[in-house]
Amino acid sequence: MKRIKISNILSFIVLLFSSVVFLVPIVTVVVNSFKDKFSISQEPFVLPNSNTFVGIENYISGINDTDFLSAFFWSLFITVCSVAVIIIFTAMTAWYITRFKTRFNKTLYYLFVFSMIVPFQMVMFTMSKMANVLGLDNPIGLIFIYLGFGAGLSVFIFSGFVKSIPKSLEEASIIDGCNVFETFWRVVFPILKPTAITVAILNTMWVWNDYLLPYLVIGSDYKTIPIAVQYLKGGYGSVDMGAMMAMLVLAIVPVVIFYLSCQKYIIKGVAAGAVKG
Amino acid sequence: MKYASKRWFIIFVVPTFAAFAIAFLIPFLSGLYLSFCEFRTVSDAKFVGLKNYLSAFSDNGDFLNALWFTVKFSFAAVIVINVIAFLLAVLLTRGIRGTNLFRTVFFMPNLIGGIVLGYIWQLIINGVLYNYGYSITSSATFGYWGLVILSSWQMIGYMMIIYIAGIQNIPTAILEAARVDGASPFRTLRSIVIPSVMPSITICLFLTITNSFKLFDQNLALTAGAPSKQTQMLALDIYNTFYGRVGYEGVGQAKAVVFFVLVAIVALLQLYLTRRREVEN
């Protein structure tokens, strides 16, 4: 008994030490966001003192330089709409092509799976040109493009789950006079809900943080948060470290709030998504 | 089932298929074709055979350097991430007090995007190096380890969650039996835990290898390839070939095709090798 206790205490110490190491970078950025921009890069690990403390000055200049509020709005708008569109359409597609195994549907399924392995650089140039030609280089068009890119993983995860749903439920609903559309939304989708949460979590994490795709498609007219952060670096010769720190904090805060409020689903979603993937 | 019809096909499949075709299928196929062409805007494409592929490898050493740097980086990152993630998962499945809090902390960096991560670590690493009169762009070694540390910080939590799920799936009866038979904790780990979590190892290796190979945002934000492109990985090199110099779009596309083939081969080979071990065990 005693040996187990000692080893548990040791494990606890190791875990405690590791968590501190994991938290240091975030805490450092938060602390530095309140410091005078000239004292940041030289001594990032020193707490602000009466000389270097600048209050929320960095936040004001950061928000003004990058138009953060509009970036936040576009990030939120694009993420929420893309994820909703992805869930609605890929769930329907996954169910349909899993249930009706025509040659076209089977091929389509393999194409979706195939697309998951292709790196973005392979299609980035031709895709952004195409978005341009078709007039998809605006936030609404971007949502459509996200549906196309998200389809691979999402259809794959949904399909894996659809296979485990007994067909008899759907057949009963058809006999009772529902059409295919009603059957899907009233009978099948409620069963798919846990999977839909997984798909939503995985896609939210991807779309919210995505940089290159929105940058290439809408970057010249609309900025999302990652584009705004990168813009701060690229726009001038020297970086305003104060504004940069404030922007990093503002970029992290929504993520942490999202994480802490849906932690249970996120952890479950990640584990479930990985097992399917 | 007989209730399939054209009308339902249009509602259920066509929207997703249209988006998929426009965002992925057509760009993929035209990208494949354009890698054999010289072009600036796609519409002025002229077939030039394998010229782009030859240029990709021979014009300057950038592509091969990036390839070598990517391989070196992926090798270190995959080992560090998986070893630490697995150890943390073992510690977090022992019912120690505070397990949930620790898990929350370890996973958190994973939700932060690559660009933001890059600048967070630039601050930390430059802060440490400043004391010695260096910065992260002084030497490729700093950038290399900086990227390894950054991606470990980001990915460990994710892999840890997958390993935890794997460990929790081991039937307690087997672990009990091992304990009754007098197996040491190390022996139990080696003979029972690791073989039982082989499926998790397969997934984690797949995810870490492909993610390391495809790393872009973190690379761009942390070093942007400095000093003199020495810390430039494949994805960033391709990006710079496309958008950094006019007239090289075809070369960029050829590099992208090579990149795709590489990622596909590495991913499939790894899946094949570890899946085989799963069956044996």
Residue B216 domain-assigned (yes or no): yes
Whether residues B32 and B59 fall in one domain: no
Whether residues A211 and A75 fall in one domain: yes
CATH of the domain at A140: 1.10.3720.10
Comparison of pLDDT for A184 and A239, the residue scoring more: A184
pLDDT at B3: 54
Whether residues A170 and A103 fall in one domain: yes
Residue A242 domain-assigned (yes or no): no
Question: Among candidates A249, A208, A225, A217, which has minimal Cα distance to A79?
Answer: A208
Interface pTM (ipTM) of the complex? 0.89
Whether residues B136 and B13 fall in one domain: no
Q: Which of B7, B8, B20, B28 to mutate to test the interface with A (most CBs of A within 10 A)?
A: B20
Whether residues A46 and A72 fall in one domain: no
Give the lowest-confidence range in A28-37, A241-250, B34-43, B234-243: B34-43
How many domains are contained in chain A?
2
pLDDT at B279: 54
pLDDT reading at B15 higher than 80: yes
Residue A131 domain-assigned (yes or no): yes
Question: Among candidates B13, B74, B241, B213, which has minimal Cα distance to A124?
Answer: B241
Whether residues B135 and B41 fall in one domain: no
Q: Compute the average pLDDT of residues B92-111.
A: 90
Would the CA dihedral through A36, A41, A44, A49 be positive or negative? negative
Residue B206 domain-assigned (yes or no): yes
Whether residues B159 and B85 fall in one domain: yes
Residue-range definition of the domain harbouring residue B234: 55-280
Question: Hey, what amino acid is at A146?
Answer: Y
Whether residues B234 and B114 fall in one domain: yes
Residue A161 domain-assigned (yes or no): yes
Residue-range definition of the domain harbouring residue A74: 67-235
Whether residues A98 and A222 fall in one domain: yes
CATH of the domain at B60: 1.10.3720.10
Whether residues A102 and A9 fall in one domain: no
Judged by CB atoms within 8 Å, which residues 221-260 of A form the interface with B? 225-226, 229-230, 233, 241, 244-245, 248, 251-252, 255-256, 258-260
Whether residues A75 and A145 fall in one domain: yes
Whether residues A41 and A127 fall in one domain: no
pLDDT reading at B114 higher than 50: yes
Residue B1 domain-assigned (yes or no): no
Whether residues B100 and B198 fall in one domain: yes
Whether residues B244 and B157 fall in one domain: yes
Whether residues B241 and B187 fall in one domain: yes
Residue B60 domain-assigned (yes or no): yes
Residue B71 domain-assigned (yes or no): yes
Residue A110 touches chain B, beta carbons under 8 Å: no
Residue A245 domain-assigned (yes or no): no
Residue A148 domain-assigned (yes or no): yes
pLDDT reading at A57 higher than 60: yes
Reported as a single tens digit per residue, the pLDDT across A177-224 is: 888 899 899 999 999 998 999 899 989 999 999 999 999 999 888 999
How many domains are contained in chain B?
2
Whether residues B30 and B65 fall in one domain: no
Whether residues B148 and B225 fall in one domain: yes
Residue A272 domain-assigned (yes or no): no
Whether residues A26 and A118 fall in one domain: no
pLDDT band at A176 (very low <50, low <70, confident <90, very high): confident
Q: Nearest residue on chain A to B261, judged by CA atoms?
A: A118
Whether residues B69 and B138 fall in one domain: yes
Question: Among candidates B236, B20, B26, B228, which has minimal Cα distance to B114?
Answer: B236
Q: Compute the average pLDDT of residues B182-205.
A: 88
Residue A244 domain-assigned (yes or no): no
Q: Nearest residue on chain B to A177, judged by CA atoms?
A: B3
Pairwise CB contact (< 8 Å): B124 & A126 = no
Residue B45 touches chain A, beta carbons under 8 Å: no
Whether residues B24 and B77 fall in one domain: no
Residue numbers in B near A255 (CB within 8 A): 111-113
Interface A–B counts its CB contacts (< 8 A) at 286
Residue numbers in B near A108 (CB within 8 A): 13, 17
Whether residues A36 and A120 fall in one domain: no
Judged by CB atoms within 8 Å, which residues 62-101 of B form the interface with A? 88, 91-92, 94, 96-98, 101
